[in-house]
Amino acid sequence: MARSGLYTGVDIGTDSIKVLVAEYISNEMNIIGVGNAKSDGLKNGIIVDIEKVAVSLRQAVNIAEERAGIRIDNINVSIPANQLEIERCQGMIPLIGESREINDGDVLQVVSNAMMRGIAPEREIINVEATEFTVDGFEGISDPRGMFGVRLEVRGLIYSGPKTLVHNIRKVVERAGLLIDNLVLAPLAMSRYILSEGEGEFGTLLIDFGAGQTTVTGVRDQRIQFSTTSSEGGDYITKDISMVLNTSLDEAEELKKNYGEASVERASQDEYFSVNVVGRNEPEQYTEQYLSQVIEARIMQICEGIRQVLNANSRFDLPGGIILAGGAAAMPGMSDLVSQVLGYNTRLFIPSEMGLRNPTFAHVISIVNYIGSRSEIDILVAQSTNQEQGHNATVDYQYGNEQQTVQPNVQPIKEENEEVEIQPYVPIGAEKEEENEGIVNRVRNMFGNLFE
């Protein structure tokens, strides 16, 4: 059940930083302000310049403050799925003395006990979920408070990521003059917001096509089964257009936005557009179909990387099909092409919130939705996580210690005492892509900045 109050969510993306302020009243989320600023200082979804990202974040927050008519000091920030690991955990505590009523302190203690398993020093716990509690052998309890017993157990999931990734986000927020209320794992929040009950229960693949990276998340039994990232996102499509048509990255992005069609079959052979070619005085003429051939080739390569993820998780069925989100997913024909290549029913998710009906806003809306809809027991579990990590003993997350840099990887859920081998998500030909240090500033939102 959603609580009352104001919540601010922040999505630090490669293309733009989005800030959303929402108020929960009578279990309804009402959006009262949105800020959107061009990102600077990120590459492939990873922070490479803390100061530049902090400036962009401050700009987006200032816009949201003006539109919402409030001052923003505390925010809830998403954490991407890079090098995500998901492990099962279990804890137990005796309820000392005669049978007595279970209280908040008992819940905090048993969850802390469950987290006392070894975590590598270079990793940090991002989120913990309590999947069920057990009281004196009675299983399947969602909230044990108020019950009587002598033995309390909990089973759950621990989501951990590289400390450097978490630290860099904390430092960006600090440099922007803000405080972090909660760190939220992006695929966890998006799966809760986007998937229907049936899709989350029986098996669905959620693909977030961002500008800097693509995140693939498998959800079943209302839990994330695996989540992985690839550096191939919308920016790679822009780079391909720039190289093939020999034009600037800025113009390539405009061509993608104005004339881009994901499927060659849907593109027109008769519609021409002009392209300013580097080194030539007169623009060149190209058809929409020619542009689509460039775009389709890259999307098919991204889909091949997704197929590798599915092959590595061969026991994961997809009766719920595939759901697309993210700015790059809004390109016409994208869902048809993904369905054709991967062989599953595919649909594009579009938020229903007025003024934000664009897949690019699904991420930031999901953060606020996740925080605002947490139950009291969810908040207690989050509080246990903060205590275990040495942060403030409330649900607020504070700053951590400085760490090192990381690279993306894939990890499935680890069963107790089970070693799982899985091939990393390395799309075909990705190792041949040349890095371009000047690409950070050249992408606009697929439909433009809705707030300019």
Task: In whole angstroms, give the CA distance from residue 194 to residue 349.
Answer: 7
Residue 266 · residue 349 · CB < 8 Å: no
DSSP characters for 323-340?
A: EEESGGGGSTTHHHHHHH
Asked if 214 and 225 touch (Cβ cutoff 8 Å), the reply is no
The percentage of the chain sitting over the pLDDT mark of 70, rounded to a whole number, equals 84
Distance separating alpha carbons of residues 86 and 382, to the nearest angstrom: 16
Rounded average pLDDT over 110-120 = 86
pLDDT band at 384 (very low <50, low <70, confident <90, very high): confident
pLDDT value for 383: 85
pLDDT above 70 for 109:
yes
The answer, yes or no, to whether residue 424 has pLDDT greater than 50, is no
Average pLDDT, the chain: 85
Average pLDDT value for residue range 207-215:
95
Q: What size, in residues, is the chain? A: 452
Which one has a higher pLDDT value, 187 or 98?
Answer: 187
Does the structure show a pLDDT above 60 at 403?
A: no
Q: Which residue has the higher pLDDT, 449 or 382?
A: 382
**In this predicted structure, what is the pLDDT of residue 386?**
62
The predicted structure's pLDDT at residue 96:
81
405 pLDDT more than 80: no
pLDDT at position 368 over 80: yes
pLDDT computed for residue 389 by the predictor? 53
Crossing angle for the helix pair 163-175 and 50-68, nearest 10 degrees? 60
Task: Tell me the percentage of the chain whose pLDDT exceeds 90.
Answer: 75
**Per-residue pLDDT, 401:** 33
Q: Is the pLDDT of residue 127 over 60?
A: yes
Whether 428 has a pLDDT exceeding 90, the answer reads: no
Q: Is the pLDDT of residue 332 over 90?
A: yes
CA 301 to chain centre: 21
Q: Domains, the chain, ranges and CATH?
A: 85-162 (3.30.1490.110)
What is the amino acid identity at position 167? H
Residue of higher predicted confidence among 36 and 117: 36
> What per-residue confidence (pLDDT) applies to 410?
34
Listed in sequence order, the residues at least 6 apart from 316 whose beta carbon sits closer than 8 Å to its beta carbon are 203, 218, 220, 225, 226, 310
Q: Cα(179)–Cα(90) distance, rounded to whole angstroms? A: 31
Q: What is the pLDDT of residue 35?
A: 96
In this model, does residue 29 exceed pLDDT 80?
yes
